[in-house]
Amino acid sequence: MVSMKIDYKKELESASKGMIMIHDPRLLIKLIVRMIVRKLGVKHAAMVLHDLEKNIYVLNISRGETGVKIPKDFARFDDESPLIKLFNRKEYQHLTIDRNAIVSDDISRLIWRESVLPNGNGTSNGDIQKILYEVYDQMEMFNTGACVPAYYQHKLMAILLLGEKYDGTKFEQEELDFFAALASDAAMAIRNAQLFNHLKREADKNHQQYLQTIAVLTHAIEAKDAYTRGHSERVTEFALKISDRMMHIGTLHFSKKFRETLRISGLLHDIGKISIPEAILNKTDKLTNEEYEIIKGHPSRGINMLEPLGLEQDCVSGILHHHERFDGRGYPAHLAGAQLPIISAIIAVADSYDAMTSDRPYRKGLPKEIAISEIKGNSGTQFHPDVAAAMVDLYEKGKI
């Protein structure tokens, strides 16, 4: 097979965009493994997935040459399995941290290193050598050249098993870094797929549990962006205060149902950011035009992700159009004036206020009075005048 240069950044972005739209964990893993085998020149690949209910790891999906690939459901791993122990226990983390994986070609070097170097992990060198021998034997059994862990908030969700490369060369660090990033995004996607399935079941049972599960999903969004902890909750709080203030001063009357829809929209308005690479979300310098376009895609991606939940149209509008502007220069649909749904206009002001007053990767948060001045100054251009007026009134009354 002819060796071709792989654009790993492009492949990762493409895979990330695709996987976040899929809410079936098995289908998601199937597509990831198929992509690895087809595009990245390995003879076979498989994914071991954590079964939450049984608390075991099951070899779930396998692809590759007949006679080479590992049969599906052939293997089950408990917490005492060498591979699971290697990736799950702190005392062994130092063995894989440099490579983001365990590679069969590296194991003899690691065994030698552990025989001559002291360790401060509370585990004897002999125990560490023993686990390495056991892992090597297990990898040999599965004809595996490299194993890459997939974590979600330090919880081992899955392990990617990779066979040899067609060209016979060793795995390069660039390749392992790609697989590690892919595994990380896969873990996030798998976890979110599980949350979506749980959310749909809860919606049929109990409305309060439904809202609680939405809160869990909100935390999953913010787990990816260290600088927006609590953002969705704060935006929701501000949005509800704005709607209440608009009713109090007689601008508009909102039903109880609208208020609840506004709450759900506020909590989920940034759900599409799960599909954006962390390197872009947490970037400290100026975004490139390409990166900014990726950021701008998060409202539409969010709606695509939420489609299976059958949200009401007002809720969809609040999420999809929260970056529209009153003058029509926003995105994604360039709505203007009366075209702009009031629910999205409210979230837009709440979102902008919180963004201005919160610390971000590239700047410190602004004082409240400056943020309010910006909202007042952009009333009728960026912001809906009635919504902006209610926000200013809240500030002047000491309500925010």
Give the pLDDT confidence score for residue 104 in this predicted structure.
Answer: 87
Of 191, 199, 193, 195, nearest to 158 by C-alpha is 191
The model's confidence at residue 65, banded by pLDDT at 50, 70 and 90, is: low
Query: Would you say residue 56 lies in a domain?
Result: yes
Q: How many domains does the chain have?
A: 2
Co-location of 326 and 389 in the same domain: yes
Co-location of 116 and 210 in the same domain: no
Higher pLDDT among residues 230 and 125, named by residue: 230
Of 53, 50, 43, nearest to 26 by C-alpha is 50
Domain termination site, one of 189, 218, 250: 189
- The token duo for 11 is 């492949």
- The token duo for 65 is 């040459």
- The token duo for 61 is 């999906």
Co-location of 130 and 26 in the same domain: yes
Count of all residues that appear for the chain in the document: 400
Higher pLDDT among residues 282 and 386, named by residue: 386
Co-location of 225 and 354 in the same domain: yes
Co-location of 48 and 153 in the same domain: yes
Query: Would you say residue 280 lies in a domain?
Result: yes
Single-letter residue type at 248? H
Co-location of 180 and 123 in the same domain: yes
Query: Would you say residue 267 lies in a domain?
Result: yes
Give the pLDDT confidence score for residue 283 in this predicted structure.
Answer: 77
Give the pLDDT confidence score for residue 207 in this predicted structure.
Answer: 60
End-to-end CA distance of the chain: 64
* Adjacent-strand bridge partners of 158: 49, 150
Give the pLDDT confidence score for residue 324 in this predicted structure.
Answer: 96
The backbone torsions φ and ψ at residue 103, rounded to the nearest 5 degrees and listed phi first, read -115, 130
Weakest-pLDDT range from 12-21, 44-53, 280-289? 12-21
What's 229's domain CATH number? 1.10.3210.10
Query: Would you say residue 197 lies in a domain?
Result: no
Query: Would you say residue 2 lies in a domain?
Result: no
Q: Given the structure tokens 């990767």, which residue do they identify?
A: 361
d(CA 133, CA 82): 9
Query: Would you say residue 260 lies in a domain?
Result: yes
Task: Output Rg (C-alpha) for the chain, integer angstroms.
Answer: 25
Domain termination site, one of 163, 189, 215: 189
Give the pLDDT confidence score for residue 2 in this predicted structure.
Answer: 40
Q: Given the structure tokens 């779930």, which residue do they identify?
A: 60
Give the pLDDT confidence score for residue 262 in this predicted structure.
Answer: 94
d(CA 28, CA 91): 31
The backbone torsions φ and ψ at residue 167, rounded to the nearest 5 degrees and listed phi first, read -85, 0
Co-location of 121 and 37 in the same domain: yes
Query: Would you say residue 355 lies in a domain?
Result: yes
b/e sequence 188-227, b meaning 16+ C-beta within 10 Å = bbbbbbbbbeebeebbeeeeeebeebbeebbebbbebbee
Domain termination site, one of 156, 189, 222: 189
Dihedral in degrees, nearest 10, Cα atoms 289, 223, 391, 331:
30
Co-location of 175 and 215 in the same domain: no
Co-location of 150 and 263 in the same domain: no
Query: Would you say residue 198 lies in a domain?
Result: no
Co-location of 16 and 76 in the same domain: yes
What's 160's domain CATH number? 3.30.450.40
Higher pLDDT among residues 17 and 278, named by residue: 278
Weakest-pLDDT range from 211-225, 345-359, 369-383? 211-225
Q: Are strands 155-162 and 44-51 parallel, antiparallel or unpaired?
A: antiparallel
Residue 399 has pLDDT above 80, yes or no: yes
Weakest-pLDDT range from 17-26, 274-283, 304-313? 17-26
Q: Which residues contact 18 (CB under 8 A, 6 or more apart)?
A: 31
Give the pLDDT confidence score for residue 122 in this predicted structure.
Answer: 55
Co-location of 233 and 181 in the same domain: no
Co-location of 146 and 231 in the same domain: no
Q: What percent of the chain has pLDDT over 70?
A: 78
Strand order in the sheet with 155-162: 76-77, 56-64, 44-51, 155-162, 146-152, 102-103
Weakest-pLDDT range from 70-74, 113-117, 165-169, 324-328? 70-74
- The token duo for 226 is 């260290």
Give the pLDDT confidence score for residue 50 in this predicted structure.
Answer: 82
Domain boundaries, position 155? 8-189
